[in-house]
Chains A and B, each alone.
Chain A
Amino acid sequence: MYAAHAHDQAHGDHAHSPGGIMRWITTTNHKDIGTLYLWFSFTMLMVGGVLAIGIRAELFQPGLQFWRPEFFNELTTMHGLIMVFGAIMPAFVGFANWQIPMMIGAPDMAFARMNNWSFWLLPPAACLLVGSFFVPGGATAAGWTLYAPLSTQMGPGMDLAIFALHIMGASSIMGAINIITTILNMRAPGMDLMKMPLFVWTWLITAYLLIAVMPVLAGAVTMVLTDRHFGTNFFNAAGGGDPVLFQHIFWFFGHPEVYIMILPAFGIISQVIPAFARKPLFGYASMVYALASIAILSFIVWAHHMFTVGMPAAGQLFFMFATMLIAVPTGVKVFNWIATMWKGSMTFEAPMLFACGFIFVFSMGGFTGLMLAIPPVDIQVQDTYYVVAHFHYVLVAGSLFAIFAGAYFWIPKWTGHMYDETLGKWHFWLSLIFFNITFFPMHFLGLAGMPRRIPDYALQFADFNMVASFGGFGFGLTQLIFLAAVIKCIRGGEKAPDKPWEGADTLEWTLPSPPPYHSFETPPVVK
């Protein structure tokens, strides 16, 4: 993020690097690229947020107010795609770019030029996605899950979405290869795998997940593409295919994808809590094992997204048991965080507030997840607002809160200035309150029988929808406080010391704030 400082550094260190916009287009520096990723992700968060406000405005009261039903479906679909592939995933890659080299004592990422490509693939992909609103027939309205055969029925907007997914997939795979290579080959002397900060561990495992499943998604959408235009029949029963097959392939990607979006969040929380409890992380080794088991289990639970397709009882039982097993390592992580806080000496600056908020609210999403793992209950609430509440509890209160925690935690290092603590606290409390006003009533709506992805609803759902809409508008506006805090911090503010947080102990805090454009050119030695 923070053009001002990086620019000064660029002049010092890189006399020949181009200035202005070309500097950003040609940059191969991990800090610049991290900054680009983070700004890109924030922009997409705003775009996705505007779509969400469009959704909540229509659902403010029963009846059709603003949109035609088909446009409403476009809104929900694009909100999902943009938030998942445009906002959450790139944000974590941005953190990885900034932090991983500094945390393992490496001078830069392993493949600096490929790093540049993997970022610059994203803006064209985002343009394809957003641009698809303006083609005849509008954007794809098949839901972010793109279930066939509805997705084979869509207009050209669907093709644009498929190409966008291909490009974003390629970008993610390149990013993941870069991260794995950096972590495996470029650690400072003495930095054993089991001495790595937990954030680095979570990204190592996430990157492996990305390489394993992004190609599967690419395959699935390619099959949709050929079914649409080239006469194949993967998902068309008339030609010997099966529509349910798409769901199997999609969720084989989709479930690990869920962990791709939450494991780095676990990593950030595992850095923040010890720093503010002034106490080492409790159960480091068990944290690593828990991460690995979550990642492995994520490959054998996909069909819990499709309990209603009518699979045999044996299938339901297998996927129920496998899914419930994931609760064990996830529980271990939560217990470890709380044990880290136990008998610490805690202070509650914005990063710690977001981390505590994360544990509290994410766990509620975990409990509803457990509920959804039970097929009979899942069958009752699948494809209702209960599911919508569940995944927003884990993706907004989970991933997004962790992203905010990480941003406040590291922004003094990145910019060299302390952020405005008052703004940070306002941002946290308003986010937490509005988040719960928006999504808590959705549990009731789902239980009472409101299906998701509908533009209009029966009258008994009116009150809670109105409450949720109010909360949604408030949550959206609150994020402008974050933007204000970030801009204020880039522009100036109290000079940040090298180590602004008393309990922080990883390598990046040994560098000056802001760090030099090229850091750790001589690797540090880790004892």
Chain B
Amino acid sequence: MMGRWTKRLVAAAACAPALASADRYNLQTPQSIIAHQIYDLHTLIFVICCVIFVVVFGVMFYAIIMHRKAAGHKAQQFHENTTIEIAWTIVPFLILIGMAYPATKTIIAMKDTSNPDLTIKATGYQWKWGYDYLQEGISFYSSLATPRDQLDGNAPKGVNYLLEVDNPVVVPVGKKVRIITTANDVIHAWWVPALGVKQDAIPGFVRDSWFKADKAGTYRGQCAELCGKDHGYMPIVVEAVEPAKYEAWVKDRQEKMAKVAVADAPGKIWTLDELKARGEKVYAQHCVACHQPTGLGTPPVFPALSGSKVVTGLKEVQIDTVLGGVVKDGKQTAMMPFKQLSDVEIAAVITYTRNSWSNKTGDAILPDEVKALRK
């Protein structure tokens, strides 16, 4: 036990220099105009508070030391002084106005989402983010990429433990990016500290916020509104790149999406291996968090798929389960419906589960079979 701990501590210490610095005691190094303003505002108010603190508690500790009975001090019986009472009402008031003025300017700047160079919609799901580049037509999901082994302590934790995703948001440096947030199920919040953006994502409504990255780099954040079980496991990663590189990325993404569209086109004849390969990707995106890469799940809440009666039994039953979720005693269980996936995706992932781990059914489920069972 101690050995494992020591190893982890050493690992933590080894990556410490990379992470250490002022960031540990203060706001993260600001990387956008708004983040700079927030940083300066925080510093200003911090300094004012420290000065007040020293003055007020200087007086208190002076009294505590000098006006003790043990020091022979006799109590004086005064109990009011109108002048001083008015003074200590007015002076804090003036100090507050001094703080509010720069804050007001920043608030107005933060709310100015006009004239963006690009608009990205971030949709919160339990528990991953979905992104849509509205004008470019790019869409993808972004889920935690940290392997399960690291969470459970069976593998050493990487430098970006819990702050890494499979598909980061890519944005051009120096361009105004407008983020529109919404959510699919409960309230989430899209937060990247270094860019000075935090915006709740509310189901059924859109909200907007913006940032402009000062320089190229990878900026990491997390969901900042309790959204259920895996609230701590839906990070946000923004990669700011040079505009030319961004253009290339957009083109690449668009081509890939077109390919998937062609690949999933209705009428395509699928082989078992093709379905399995496609299904593995779907599984990694939507199923792995609960049912685990090993297919063993974490019973009793998340049952194993490997050796499961549903997965090795009648395929219609499994298709129904994936489409409709599992309802027990009139209550939705953790197995949510996955109707939002396409016929191809569902067929592929079911094929994958029926032919992985200890499951060897040899079944290939075709998209049309899924379509037929949609209610």
A and B touch in the complex (CB under 8 A): yes
Interface residues of A (CB under 8 A from B): 61-65, 68-70, 73, 137, 141-143, 147, 149-150, 153, 155, 237-238, 242-244, 277-286, 308-310, 312-313, 316-317, 320-321, 324-325, 327-328, 331-332, 334-335, 338-348, 356, 359-360, 363-364, 367, 370-371, 374-377, 379-380, 382-384, 444, 447-449, 451, 453-460, 462-464, 503
B100-108, B246-254, B257-265, B277-285: which lies at the interface = B100-108
Instruction: Establish whether residues A150 and B49, one from each chain, have CB atoms under 8 Å apart when the complex forms.
Output: no
Tell me the smallest distance from the CB of A429 to a CB of chain B, in Å.
Answer: 15
Instruction: Establish whether residues A379 and B38, one from each chain, have CB atoms under 8 Å apart when the complex forms.
Output: yes
Known: A61-B5, A153-B186. A376 touches B157 (CB 8 A): no
**B57: which of A278, A348, A363, A458 is its contact (CB, 8 Å)?**
A363
B40-48, B304-312, B347-355, B358-366: which lies at the interface = B40-48
Known: A332-B85, A360-B60. A283 touches B25 (CB 8 A): no
Interface bin, chain B: 35 or more
Q: Is the C-beta of B232 less than 8 angstroms from some C-beta in chain A?
A: yes
Alpha-carbon distance between A139 and B216 when the two chains are bound, in angstroms: 45
Determine the chain A residues whose CB is within 8 A of the CB of B134 once the complex forms: none
B217-225, B267-275, B313-321, B338-346: which lies at the interface = B217-225
Determine the chain A residues whose CB is within 8 A of the CB of B203 once the complex forms: 149, 237, 243
Q: Is the C-beta of B140 less than 8 angstroms from some C-beta in chain A?
A: no
Residue of B nearest to A366 (CB): B49
Alpha-carbon distance between A449 and B196 when the two chains are bound, in angstroms: 11
Instruction: Establish whether residues A451 and B232, one from each chain, have CB atoms under 8 Å apart when the complex forms.
Output: yes
A-contact bits for B67-81, CB 8 A (1 contact / 0 none): 111100111111111
Tell me the smallest distance from the CB of B231 to a CB of chain A, in Å.
Answer: 6
Q: Is the C-beta of B28 less than 8 angstroms from some C-beta in chain A?
A: yes
Tell me the smallest distance from the CB of A464 to a CB of chain B, in Å.
Answer: 8
Residue of A nearest to B298 (CB): A68
**A343: which of B53, B63, B106 is its contact (CB, 8 Å)?**
B63
Tell me the smallest distance from the CB of B217 to a CB of chain A, in Å.
Answer: 15
Instruction: Establish whether residues B79 and A282, one from each chain, have CB atoms under 8 Å apart when the complex forms.
Output: yes
Alpha-carbon distance between A455 and B45 when the two chains are bound, in angstroms: 31
A-contact bits for B212-250, CB 8 A (1 contact / 0 none): 000000000111111111111100000000000000000
Tell me the smallest distance from the CB of B303 to a CB of chain A, in Å.
Answer: 14
Instruction: Establish whether residues A449 and B67, one from each chain, have CB atoms under 8 Å apart when the complex forms.
Output: no
Instruction: Establish whether residues B88 and A69, one from each chain, have CB atoms under 8 Å apart when the complex forms.
Output: no
B115-123, B159-167, B170-178, B367-375: which lies at the interface = B159-167
Instruction: Establish whether residues B186 and A149, one from each chain, have CB atoms under 8 Å apart when the complex forms.
Output: yes
**B79: which of A61, A283, A316, A324 is its contact (CB, 8 Å)?**
A283
CB<8 Å pairs between A and B, sample of 30: A62-B157, A62-B162, A63-B8, A63-B151, A63-B152, A69-B230, A237-B204, A244-B202, A280-B79, A283-B85, A308-B189, A309-B200, A316-B107, A324-B96, A328-B92, A338-B60, A343-B67, A346-B67, A346-B68, A379-B38, A379-B196, A447-B25, A448-B26, A448-B28, A449-B28, A449-B222, A457-B162, A458-B162, A459-B15, A460-B19
Instruction: Establish whether residues B161 and A459, one from each chain, have CB atoms under 8 Å apart when the complex forms.
Output: yes
Instruction: Establish whether residues B12 and A462, one from each chain, have CB atoms under 8 Å apart when the complex forms.
Output: yes
**A345: which of B45, B68, B193, B232 is its contact (CB, 8 Å)?**
B68
Alpha-carbon distance between A483 and B297 when the two chains are bound, in angstroms: 45
Alpha-carbon distance between A8 and B161 when the two chains are bound, in angstroms: 63
Most A CB atoms within 10 A — which of B108, B229, B232?
Answer: B232
Alpha-carbon distance between A383 and B191 when the two chains are bound, in angstroms: 10
Alpha-carbon distance between A340 and B203 when the two chains are bound, in angstroms: 53
Determine the chain B residues whose CB is within 8 A of the CB of A279 once the complex forms: 75-77, 79
Most A CB atoms within 10 A — which of B74, B75, B93?
Answer: B75
**B69: which of A280, A286, A345 is its contact (CB, 8 Å)?**
A345
Determine the chain B residues whose CB is within 8 A of the CB of A332 once the complex forms: 85, 88-89
Determine the chain A residues whose CB is within 8 A of the CB of B60 once the complex forms: 338, 341, 356, 359-360
Residue of A nearest to B159 (CB): A459
Instruction: Establish whether residues B41 and A374, one from each chain, have CB atoms under 8 Å apart when the complex forms.
Output: yes
Instruction: Establish whether residues A328 and B15, one from each chain, have CB atoms under 8 Å apart when the complex forms.
Output: no
Instruction: Establish whether residues B185 and A343, one from each chain, have CB atoms under 8 Å apart when the complex forms.
Output: no
Residue of B nearest to A461 (CB): B24
Instruction: Establish whether residues A344 and B75, one from each chain, have CB atoms under 8 Å apart when the complex forms.
Output: yes
**A284: which of B78, B79, B186 is its contact (CB, 8 Å)?**
B79
Instruction: Establish whether residues A150 and B73, one from each chain, have CB atoms under 8 Å apart when the complex forms.
Output: no
Determine the chain B residues whose CB is within 8 A of the CB of A237 once the complex forms: 202-205
Instruction: Establish whether residues B74 and A345, one from each chain, have CB atoms under 8 Å apart when the complex forms.
Output: yes
Alpha-carbon distance between A520 and B345 when the two chains are bound, in angstroms: 80
Tell me the smallest distance from the CB of A189 to a CB of chain B, in Å.
Answer: 24
Having A360-B57, A383-B226, one finds 13 other A-B pairs with CB under 8 Å, namely A62-B162, A70-B229, A309-B200, A320-B103, A328-B89, A328-B96, A331-B89, A347-B70, A444-B24, A444-B25, A449-B222, A451-B232, A458-B160
**A344: which of B15, B23, B67, B103 is its contact (CB, 8 Å)?**
B67
**B151: which of A61, A456, A458 is its contact (CB, 8 Å)?**
A456
Q: Which are the 8 A-B pairs with shortest beta-carbon distances?
A: A237-B204, A454-B232, A310-B207, A345-B75, A460-B19, A376-B106, A280-B79, A367-B49
Instruction: Establish whether residues B233 and A69, one from each chain, have CB atoms under 8 Å apart when the complex forms.
Output: yes
Instruction: Establish whether residues B228 and A447, one from each chain, have CB atoms under 8 Å apart when the complex forms.
Output: no
Instruction: Establish whether residues B76 and A343, one from each chain, have CB atoms under 8 Å apart when the complex forms.
Output: yes
Tell me the smallest distance from the CB of B44 to a CB of chain A, in Å.
Answer: 10
Instruction: Establish whether residues B28 and A143, one from each chain, have CB atoms under 8 Å apart when the complex forms.
Output: no
Determine the chain B residues whose CB is within 8 A of the CB of A455 once the complex forms: 232
